[in-house]
Structures are given as structure tokens and as C-alpha cells.
Structure 1
Amino acid sequence: MAKDDDKTVKLTKRAVDAIKPDGTDFYVFDSDLVGFGVRVRATGGMSYIVRYRAGSGRGAPVRRVTIAAVGKITPDQAREKAKDILASVVKGDDPAKAKAEARAALSFGDLVAKYLDHVAAKKKAATHDLYKHLLNSYALPSLAKRPAASLTSLDIAPLHLKLRDRATTGNRFLAVVASLYSWAMEAKLLAKMENPAAGIEKFRESRRERFLTSEELGRLGDAIHEAETDGIPWEPDPTKKAKHAPKAENRRVKIDATVAAALRLYVLTGARRSEILNLTWDMVDLERGLLFLQDSKTGQKTIILNGPAQLILSELPRVDRFVIPGQAKKRPDGTMESRPRSDLKRPWAAVRKRAGLNADADNPQFRVRLHDLRHTHASIGVGSNLGLPIVGKLLGHKQTRTTERYAHLETDPVRKASEAIGARIMDAMGGRKGRKSNVVLMKKGGN
């Protein structure tokens, strides 16, 4: 398919080496394989190409496909690639058009950007930040420029496998990728295809459930009371030198009434951390014993206040619009902007340690997290035979399966069955003659 002004030679290594740029763009075509040639640019760059007509007849458009730069591969290797391309043209394909479409196709990076815009508009900021972190950290570094439609499970599975030591993070990453592609197909950004996250086996996660016993709740209550009155004593770190360490009587960690109230409200209401810290007084209805949350994790939500929770809130001073106020921020105009307390890490760490609820070398899972107070609230409700639907309602669960994690605590029917079986077995074995029982019966509803 060489033109009249194009050069035609047998493209051997010697012939290619002899081609010299002359300051213009021109082609040198192979005399044996029609359409195979070398493109020489005015700048001096040279590359192997294939030129063909996309269709039949002289009116069909001329296309060009670049194979590789001269020097990257040999003329013989380029010739073999050219044969493959020309064979596909004979079959009716248009390689140049397909290549152009692939370049113009939506990249994975562009798809992620569109998806995160959607998440920012439809979901909570914390959800957006989590999705952004997972995709930016574990997917975009290697996949950003790839066409989104070209990805398969063979691309995603290795990324998931790299997170084997962080099972929860790995599974969340997999879920976000699955959600990304489901949304893209539903939004018609991608044609129907197999979701690249489908079929990848998730890691086994060891769900950590920690519920405080009655005795532990007692210690926690004592520690909170001590922290808000006398203060919790602390000892200097012996590994660190301090020139002016406080006297023993001054080494106390004290918390104010609002922090103590927040810790008590967590376990009394089963509310989430953000729901308590972002609580404003206009959401509190003490007369009816309700909290009206405008924007919780699950949207608008009403929390029922039991008597002790109502008493705690009624005794708190209303010094700010936030029930648990933080450090106010100064505006540019000099006025102060009230803000909620951002976290309770330091006071909780002191209270937890004083209550003996920290981890130890023998049991690293023993440490009680602040969120475990919510679990404890739920466990007491389930253990008191209130039923999973009621407990789920109290916690604000939208999905019943979320509450089902506490199902194993509904032990009364199971315990009765076990007692019945044990009694029958003991009777068959001759009863309890001459034996002293080592069994200590638990009080109903005990943990």
C-alpha cells in the first residue's frame, strides 16, 4: 500500500540501519509484506508501522498502527507482529480504531474519581474518606491508567492478597471495588461485565466481641467516679528522666463532669461515639426521655433515654450548645465558634487502666475499647431476654443481621435444654449419690 513517493525496499536490519532522516516525515515500506514499513519523523525518530485500508474498495479509510520504535525490536520481530495485525484486518477487524478506542476508554483512575464524587454526594463524609483511602492506597497506584473495562479478578485478587495480614482492611477493599463496579454498570458508565471483585474469596475475620461483666462494670463505675472527684493517681515513667516531677499528691488525672457523663452515657444508651460527642441540647428531650439525632451513621435516629441516662443529662450544666463541648475556635472576626469534643482517648485510657480493663501479656484481646460499652449495653439487653428485634431497635440497627451477632447471648432456651440433658444423663448414671455438685448456678440474665 505504498504511495508513489514512498520508498520500497526489503526491510532487513542492514536496510533499516541505512535509513537516514532528512528533516521531513516519510515512510520506507517493505517490498515483500504489503503495508509493513518504517515511519521516519522529521525529528529523527523511527518506528515500525502497519498501514491498511479499513474495509474493501479504494474508498475505505486508510489506518495506521504503530508496532514499536526502531531499536526496541528487530525487523524480523516487527514483521511477525505486522503479519498478525494484517491477518486480523483480513478477518474484518480494525486494529487502529480498536487501539484508539482503548486509549479513549474510561480509565480506572477516572472511574474512581467519578465514583468518589457520587459517594461524597450520597453517603456520609466518613464513608467517603474510607472509600477514598482504600482505593487510593491499594488500587490506584497500579491500576489508575488501565481501562476500567479491562480489569478482571486476576487484577484485583493480588491486591487483596497483599492485605492478608489485615483481613478486615482487605475485605473492605474488596467490597469497595465490588461496589464501584456495580455502580458503574448501573450508571451506564461501563457495559455489563463480570465484576472484577466477584469470585474472590474473602479473608476469615476473627470478630472481636468484648462485653463487660457486672463486676467489671462496677470497677468502671468506681474509676469514673474517682476520676471526676479526687482524680486518678499516676506514676512517672521510670524510663524517662524528669527534672521537676509533680509531688505524689499532685499526680492525679481528673476529668470534668461532661467527660464523665459521656462515658456513662455510652454504656447506658448504647449510642455510638459520634452520636454522644456531637449531641446538642436541642436534640435532648428530657420530658419525654428521648434524643432526636438528625444525622447518625444510619440517618435520622431516636434514642430512648432510660432513667439513669435522663438523670445524668438533667444534672449537666448547659454551658454550650454541645452537651459534651470541646475547645472553642476563634473566628476571623474575633467571635468564638463552639465545637464538640473531638475524642475521649486520654480520659478513657486513664479510666480504663484504673478499672483494670487494659490488655496484658497473657491476654492481648482483653483491652476494652470505648465501642465495647455499646456492645455491653446490647449484651445485657439480649441476656435479659428482651429479644434481638427490641435490642436492634434500641441500637438503631437498620439490618437485623447486624443485631444477630448477639444471638449467642440468648442462652436461656439452650441452657434449659442442656440442664434437661444433663439431668437425664446423671439419672441414668445413678444420680448424684455420694457426690457434691461443683456447679454454681448463674443468676438469670448474668453474663
Structure 2
Amino acid sequence: MSEVTLTLSRVRKLQPGEIVWDKDVPGFFARKNANGSISFILKTRVSGKQRKLSLGKLGVVTVEKARDLARDYAFSARKGIEPRPEAPANPSPLMKDAVAAFIETYGMRIKPRTKEEYERMLKLHVLPRFKKKTVKDITQADVRAMHEAMGKTPRNANNVLTAFSKMMNWSIERGWRDKDSNPCKGVVRYREMRRNRYLSPDEAKRLGDTLRCVIRDGAESTYVVAAIWLIIFTGARRNEVLTLKWDYVDQERRILVLPDSKTGPKSILLNRHALAVLSGLTKVKGNPYVFVGHVTGKSLINIAKPWKRIRKLAKLPGLRLHDLRHSFGNRAIDAGGTTRVLGILLGHSDEDTTAIYAHVSDSRAVQLVDATGDLIAQSMKDIPVTAGLRAGLRRRPLPLKIQRKPVAA
């Protein structure tokens, strides 16, 4: 039985069912439960009789608080005094502590990107209002007031409500609120207007001209521009492209095989223009990613700022990267694609998983992705992708003079 000094970082590394004993207080240990929560427990004896006392869960009590309780109870037990088997002083934690515990434990169930978004929304919109309240104190009126205060950004308000509702259900599981007492339930969501923005032929030409210019002038990282070109010619999501590894690229079969995405595993067909983008790039030794970032061995993380500069030069200030995905879909429809085949190409979540993999041999899908790529290239005036990217890599692969080395942990 190994013993260590229990710390927050150590208990966070526990696996479900694993126990770690504290070497400073005999009988004090932490255990990770099947639901992801972490319990602190003291095992001791009082007048020869064994006792196992619950000291609380991480998020309700800190490691230090649990150790102090264990030390006090162990002292009482040695004196023959029955320790008080009481619940922690604050069974319903403050919101600031509950949010931290929710991100840490519930975050293991969801995708890293979703975890980041939940953390951002809760810390930006929920904590400023409720950080001094306990989880049990939050009422439906509180949630409604928060939601209404965000009325100018209805989509964001609804997303925050979703994240907060997940957290409240998670809190109910831990006994911090009564059953069926989610305060988000019954708060009416805003009606969202779906935004379907497509590039017009003139806008497509301006964007194509701008991308060629920034490569020619070395104004932006070649990898940033190449990533944008790949989004344009595949309709892939931004993060699917930015996190693309060379191992996922099968140029012979003309597909990208993604082990994970927003909708799960998927494959993406490549037309000749998308293949040209990839052919214009070279592998960087020691870096598995296609689109190399500033930090050695890492991928591009965020291209929001360079994209903002590019769309400003193209006089397309409101154009989002996601709109390029919409434009791909629109061009695919122009090329004769059906909504079913288009859904497969774009990896929509309502497509059957087997269909997503079966489509790589679907001749109609192959014809469609080729025709779509040709239409896009025509609207952007037949870009010489490969030569331009290779020239950019020789001249200025990154906007920094040297790549930064990763910071030591």
C-alpha cells in the first residue's frame, strides 16, 4: 500500500476505483468514485471498534480541509471519543468551488473543446453573478434574470443556459440540490435565426485574390493560409483542419480519416484542389501536424486574428470561417448534390455512422466533391495552390522569426 502526501494534483490523477493513502495522517485516504467524484475518507478505531468516516467530496471540501478534519477526528478517536459523524460544514458549496469541481470532473466525460467552452461560459457569465451564492441557493428567477440580461446575444445566452443546466443536473447527482430542482428548467430559450451566409462569385474572387496576395507578400503564415484553403475546398470544420495530422491523410485514396470530430469518427473526401493544398506543404520533423503552429511540435491553435486581417483586406468584414463551410455546401448543391450526399460529405450528426464510412466508395460522392472543388476554384479564378504555398514556405513559413519552444511544465 503506497502512501503519499495528498495534494490536489495527485487526487485529480486518480482513476475510477483507485485509492491513495495520505502518509501524514494515518487512515486518511482519497477515492475516485465511478461517477467521477472524489471522496475523502478517514479509517480509524474508537475503543477498539473500526470506524470509516466520510469527510466530504472534492469541490465541497479542499484537500487541506479534508486533512484537517481527518487529523481532528483521528485525535478524538485516540482519546476514545466518538468523532462527530457530521456532514461537512457546507454541504452545498459556493458556486465558485462548484464550477471548478464541475469542470474538473464532468469535463472528463466530454470533448476537450466542449470542456473549454463550458469553462469559458461559466466563468464569464455565471460566476460574476453567483460566485458568492451556494449551489442550493440558485433559483429559477436568478437564472431567468441572467438569461434575459444576455438578450442582445440570444445564441450565446442559450448556450450559457445549456452549460449551466448541465452543471445543475451534475450538482443534483452529488446531492447539492434536491431532486428535480434544476433552476434552468422552465427558462424559455430565445428563438435563434439560423445564419446561412454564402460567398457570392464576386466575394469568392476577392477572397481568392487576397489569399494569393498575402502568400506572395509573406503577410501571413503560410500554414494559416493553407488551412483556410483546405476549409474552402473540403467544407471541413475549423478545428478538424487545425488539428489534422499527417497520419490522417491518405492521399492515395483521396481521404482524410479523422478518428474524432464534433460528430465522432468521420472521413472527408478530397478533390484535386484540396490535394493540391496538402501537396504544397511539407512535413516538419518532430511535428505530427499538417498545419504547424508557433510552438515546436504543436499545431496551429487559433487563426482568428489572421483571419480577421485577411477578411478585412478582402472587404468581407462579417465573413466567418464557418461560412466557408456553408459556401462549400452551397456549391455542392449547385454541382447537383442531394441533401443526403451533402450531409455525408459535411459529416452532419444525423447521418448514420456506417454511411459516413461507406461514402468513400460512393461514386456519386466522389463525382460531387470533384465538381464542387472545380466550381469553387473557378469562382476564385483557378488558384495555383501548390506553387504559391511552396514559395511561401521557402520565404516565410511562420509570422515569427523562430518557433517558440514549449514552456516546461
What TM-score, normalized by structure 2, do the two folds share?
0.57
Deviation at 1:288, TM superposition (A): 0.6
Residue matched to 2:241: 276
The answer to whether residue 291 in structure 2 is matched with residue 324 in structure 1 is yes
User: Take 2:308 and 2:124, find their aligned partners in 1: how far apart are those partners?
Assistant: 30
Equivalent runs, 1:329-408 vs 2, <5 Å: 337-358=296-317, 367-399=318-350
Q: Give 1 or 2 for the bigger CA radius of gyration.
A: 1
Structure 2, unaligned runs of 5 or more: 1-85, 352-378, 380-409
Bigger RCO of structures 1 and 2 (CA < 8 A, at least 6 apart): 2
User: Take 1:354 and 1:138, find their aligned partners in 2: how far apart are those partners?
Assistant: 33
Per-residue Cα deviation, 1:335-366 (whole angstroms, up to 9, x for no partner): xx3222333345434442343323xxxxxxxx
Per-residue Cα deviation, 1:220-250 (whole angstroms, up to 9, x for no partner): 2222223323x3xxxxxxxxxxxxxxxxxxx
Structure 1, unaligned runs of 5 or more: 1-99, 232-252, 329-336, 359-366, 401-445
Per-residue Cα deviation, 1:299-326 (whole angstroms, up to 9, x for no partner): 4332221222112212322234322212
Is the 8 Å Cα contact of residues 184 and 190 (structure 1) preserved in structure 2?
Answer: yes
Deviation at 1:265, TM superposition (A): 0.7
User: Take 2:241 and 2:169, find their aligned partners in 1: how far apart are those partners?
Assistant: 34
User: Take 1:378 and 1:186, find their aligned partners in 2: how far apart are those partners?
Assistant: 42
Residue matched to 2:46: none
Letter in 1 for 2:255: L
Residue matched to 1:120: 107
Is the 8 Å Cα contact of residues 108 and 145 (structure 1) preserved in structure 2?
Answer: yes
Relative to structure 1, is the Cα distance of residues 120 and 270 closer, same or farther in structure 2, using a 3 angstrom cutoff? same
User: Take 1:183 and 1:348, find their aligned partners in 2: how far apart are those partners?
Assistant: 37
Is the 8 Å Cα contact of residues 269 and 377 (structure 1) preserved in structure 2?
Answer: yes
Equivalent runs, 1:19-418 vs 2, <5 Å: 104-107=90-93, 109=95, 110-144=97-131, 146-185=133-172, 190-229=177-216, 231=217, 254-255=219-220, 257-320=222-285, 321-328=288-295, 337-358=296-317, 367-399=318-350
Is the 8 Å Cα contact of residues 107 and 144 (structure 1) preserved in structure 2?
Answer: no
User: Take 2:328 and 2:131, find their aligned partners in 1: how far apart are those partners?
Assistant: 44
Deviation at 1:298, TM superposition (A): 3.2
Letter in 2 for 1:376: S
Is the 8 Å Cα contact of residues 136 and 176 (structure 2) preserved in structure 1?
Answer: no
The SS at the match of 2:267 is strand
Residue matched to 2:51: none
Relative to structure 1, is the Cα distance of residues 186 and 311 closer, same or farther in structure 2, using a 3 angstrom cutoff? same
User: Take 2:333 and 2:172, find their aligned partners in 1: how far apart are those partners?
Assistant: 41
Deviation at 1:101, TM superposition (A): 8.1
Letter in 2 for 1:355: A
Deviation at 1:218, TM superposition (A): 2.5
The SS at the match of 2:203 is helix
What TM-score, normalized by structure 1, do the two folds share?
0.52
The SS at the match of 1:371 is helix
Per-residue Cα deviation, 1:245-286 (whole angstroms, up to 9, x for no partner): xxxxxxxx5446434322211111111222222222121110
User: Take 2:310 and 2:186, find their aligned partners in 1: how far apart are those partners?
Assistant: 45
Residue matched to 2:386: none
Percentage identity across paired residues of the two chains = 33
Letter in 2 for 1:323: V
Taking only aligned residues, the RMSD between alpha carbons, in angstroms, comes to 3.0
